[in-house]
Amino acid sequence: MKRDKKHETRDTKLQKQNVIRTFLFVVFFSIGAISLGASILSDDLVQYYRNRQLLKAAQESLDRLRSLNVDYDVLLEQLEKDPNLFKRIAAATLGTEPEDADAIYPRATAEQLAAARRVLTKEPSQQPAEPVMPGWLTRSSEPRRRMMLFFSGGALILISFICFGTAKHTPKKQE
Q: Are the C-beta atoms of 27 and 156 separated by less than 8 Å? A: no
Residue type, 69: N
Which pLDDT belongs to residue 122? 72
- What's the distance, Cα to Cα, between the start and end of the chain in Å? 14
Residue 35 lies in a domain: yes
Which pLDDT belongs to residue 47? 93
Residue 129 lies in a domain: no
Residue 149 lies in a domain: yes
Give me the phi and psi of 134, to 5 degrees please: -60, 150
Instruction: Answer yes or no: is pLDDT of 123 > 80.
Output: no
Residue 155 lies in a domain: yes
Smallest CA-to-CA distance from 93 within 76, 121, 112 is with 112
Residue 27 lies in a domain: yes
Range of the structural domain that residue 79 is part of: 2-123+135-164
CA–CA gap between residue 157 and residue 112 (Å, rounded): 69
pLDDT-based confidence at 125, cuts 50/70/90?
Answer: low
Residue 40 neighbours by CB under 8 Å, 6+ apart: 150
Handedness of CA 92, 95, 96, 101 (dihedral sign): positive
Instruction: Answer yes or no: is pLDDT of 144 > 80.
Output: yes
Residue 173 lies in a domain: no
Higher pLDDT, 121 or 140: 140
Residues 15-65: pLDDT tens digits?
888 889 999 999 999 999 999 999 999 999 999 999 999 999 999 999 999
Which pLDDT belongs to residue 86? 72
Smallest CA-to-CA distance from 108 within 93, 89, 90 is with 93
Which pLDDT belongs to residue 155? 94
Residue 169 lies in a domain: no
Which pLDDT belongs to residue 124? 57
Residue 172 lies in a domain: no
Q: What is the mean pLDDT of residues 98-104?
A: 66
- Indicate the angle between helix axes 2-81 and 85-94, nearest 10 degrees: 100
CA–CA gap between residue 162 and residue 30 (Å, rounded): 15
Q: What is the mean pLDDT of residues 86-114?
A: 69
What Cα–Cα distance (Å) separates residue 161 from each residue in 12, 16, 110?
23, 19, 77
Global pTM? 0.55
Domain count, the chain: 1
